[in-house]
Amino acid sequence: MGEPARTTPAAPGTAARAAYATVDLIRAKRDGVELTGDEIRWLIGAYVSGEVADEQMSALLMAVYFRGLDDGELRSWTSAMVDSGERLDLGGLAAPTVDKHSTGGVGDKVSLILAPLVAACGAAVPQLSGRGLGHTGGTLDKLEAIPGWRAALPPAEMLAILRDVGCVICAAGPGIVPADRHLYALRDVTGTVESIPLIASSIMSKKIAEGTGALVLDVKVGDGAFMRDPADARLLAQTMVALGAEEGVRTSALLTRMDTPLGRAVGNALEVEEAVSTLAGGGPPDLVEVVLALAREMLALAGIDADPATVLADGSALARYRAMIAAQGGDPDAPLPVAPYTRTLAAPATGFLVRLDARAVGNAAWRLGAGRARKEHPVSPAAGVLCLAKQGDWVEEEQPLLELRGDDESRFDTALEALGNAIEIGPEGPDPVATVIERVG
């Protein structure tokens, strides 16, 4: 089949309503024809302006889902998304800038620890974060469990906090990559979320627009992750690292394991509490392992010679966290919300806890109210699940393994139903595995 005919851009100064016929671009991508950079830039801009209808962009996204984007198309797509809004200018900061992004996991409160830790080591960490959807939690939802804390900051205030404290975790403002907000919402309702080029361009466009000089990606792999297949996770990591390099952002990625919840707490206030405990020198070993691995990678990209383990132990990271929370209107000393109702799930037998499935635990926390099915839904700050035992522990029959917490007793039955096949007890413990799998970049 030959390449379908496509209209050419209108000549400069003409009053043509559209530079391209959208249906021509849909047909071209549907039939496996490469879109040009000009076509992609026009398409993204016209969609944001409302000239391209949702149903047309839905068809185009489905074509991308099945046909993919080659390297040139992906670079143009990502660049067009960045150019749909404003770029933050962090050039006035004295410290080198470096950020981290996670593809999402269960119990992943790493950002709450990592941003102040790396800032205490001498970097500036500007972290634009998001909200949770489905079984994975969102960093902003967790921090909003702290009384008074604000996610929405105007750029001037964000820069002031970054300059004064060294780290800030906040929502992307409306001027940052507006194309991504439109496209993400559309992908969510059209079954096109699971596309590596669309995931990569969504993540990297926001990070490029953020203005950071360096970026470390935490790509989760396993049953509780968005990417269950290591090969898919590696491809996503490689794709994002290449996009960062193309835009002048020093970028690397770590593939980290997400078969079982990270740490012991799953839920918003529960994870804040565990993050603070880790900053105070405690914290589960698997969580500390991931935090330190990412911190070392971030500091290396930023060109800073510091030992994050020492800084985590000496209390300076905790002080930086408290300063960040206070600067964003939160009270670091305020009591966190506590759920009024609890239920426990006991071990069905005596033996080793061979498996504690992350996705099932995440779904249980979601059903208790800790997560949302759609972006506009509210979340419960107090709901969640505490893992009273970790994979590899010896447990006795009827010993409590999980503590479920919620605001609404009617939610417990469906949450327990989600945990139906989450636990496996056996006579021998699982082989120990490293939480950090490999580095890409």
Residue 92 resides in a domain: no
Active-site residue, 135 included: no
Is pLDDT above 80 for 137?
no
The pLDDT of 184-191, averaged and rounded, is 86
Residue 42 resides in a domain: yes
**Number of folded domains in the chain?**
3
* Residue 343 CB partners (closer than 8 Å, separation 6+): 403, 404, 406, 412, 415, 416
- Of 277, 301, 327, which closes a domain? 327
Is pLDDT above 70 for 133?
no
Residue 11 resides in a domain: no
Supply the pLDDT for residue 378: 83
Global pTM reads: 0.92
Active-site residue, 142 included: no
229 shares its domain with 267: yes
150 shares its domain with 269: yes
99, 108, 141, 180: the catalytic one is 180
Residue 203 resides in a domain: yes
Query: Of 119, 436, 433, nearest to 293 (Cα)?
Result: 436
The pLDDT of 160-180, averaged and rounded, is 94
311 shares its domain with 355: no
Is pLDDT above 60 for 323?
yes
DSSP structure class, residue 84: T
pLDDT category at 375 given cuts 50, 70, 90 is: low
Is pLDDT above 80 for 1?
no
129, 202, 205, 277: the catalytic one is 202
Only one residue has tokens 């001027």, namely 175
Active-site residue, 101 included: yes
225 shares its domain with 371: no
383 shares its domain with 409: yes
CB 65 within 8 A of CB 30: no
The pLDDT of 166-184, averaged and rounded, is 93
Question: Among residues of the chain, what percentage have pLDDT more than 70?
Answer: 94
CA 289 – CA 295 distance, rounded (Å): 10
382: domain CATH number?
A: 3.90.1170.30
The H or E element spanning position 342 is strand 341-346
27, 187, 264, 405: the catalytic one is 187
323 shares its domain with 347: no
136 shares its domain with 56: no
Min mean pLDDT across 86-90, 336-340, 401-405 is at 86-90
Is pLDDT above 60 for 6?
no
Query: Of 389, 60, 54, nearest to 192 (Cα)?
Result: 60
pLDDT category at 290 given cuts 50, 70, 90 is: very high
109 alpha-carbon distance from chain centroid: 10
CA atoms within 13 Å, Cβ hemisphere of 193: 11
CA 357 – CA 424 distance, rounded (Å): 9
Is pLDDT above 70 for 18?
no
Domain of 300? 98-327
Residue 193 resides in a domain: yes
28 shares its domain with 105: no
101, 207, 257, 405: the catalytic one is 101
* Residue 157 CB partners (closer than 8 Å, separation 6+): none
41, 109, 181, 206: the catalytic one is 206
The pLDDT of 168-173, averaged and rounded, is 93
Residue 310 resides in a domain: yes
Active-site residue, 58 included: no
Q: pLDDT per residue over 248-275, tens digit each?
A: 999 999 999 999 999 999 999 999 999 9
CA angle 276, 280, 286 (to 5 degrees): 75
106 shares its domain with 230: yes
Residue 159 resides in a domain: yes
Sheet holding 341-346, edge to edge: 265-267, 384-387, 400-406, 341-346
139: domain CATH number?
A: 3.40.1030.10
Residue 333 resides in a domain: no
134 shares its domain with 282: yes
Active-site residue, 405 included: no
DSSP symbols for 130-145: ---BTTB--HHHHHTT
CA 126 – CA 97 distance, rounded (Å): 7
Q: pLDDT per residue over 343-352, tens digit each?
A: 999 999 999 9
347 shares its domain with 323: no
Rg (alpha carbons) of the chain, rounded to whole number: 23
Q: pLDDT per residue over 100-115, tens digit each?
A: 999 989 999 999 999 9
Q: pLDDT per residue over 223-239, tens digit each?
A: 998 889 999 999 999 99
Supply the pLDDT for residue 184: 86
29 shares its domain with 157: no
Amino acid at 391: Q
- Of 303, 327, 351, which closes a domain? 327
Give the chain's mean pLDDT.
Answer: 92
